[in-house]
Amino acid sequence: MSQKAVERILGKLATDEEFRQRFRSSPRETIDTACREPESLTAVEREAICALDPVLLERFADALDPRLQRVRIPAGPANGSES
């Protein structure tokens, strides 16, 4: 069902900073990759999502409670030391 796919993508755009950054750089590729099944979104839905303003998405994400955001822990040394 495409409505579920729309909701999933919008939720990911709202709560996943890394996903938003990829979307800002390459909206169509990011959405195509996120929708593994070609029929999960209609052409109209894909176009509408790709037309979203990344700046407005960022503002919306900033307005959300941080507890709803996906936490990204920077990659570092596997054992936690910096030698």
Identity (one letter) of the amino acid at 42?
T
Query: Collapsing DSSP states into helix, strand and coil, what is residue 8?
Result: helix
Size (the chain), residues: 83
Compute the distance between CA of residue 20 and CA of residue 27 in angstroms, rounded to an integer: 9
Asked if residue 61 lies in contact with residue 17, where contact means CB atoms within 8 angstroms, the answer is yes
Q: What is the mean pLDDT of each run of 10 residues along the chain (83 residues)?
A: 87 93 95 81 93 95 88 59 47
What is the model's pLDDT at position 83? Answer: 44
Specify whether the backbone of 71 is left (phi greater than 0), alpha (psi in -120 to 50) or beta.
beta
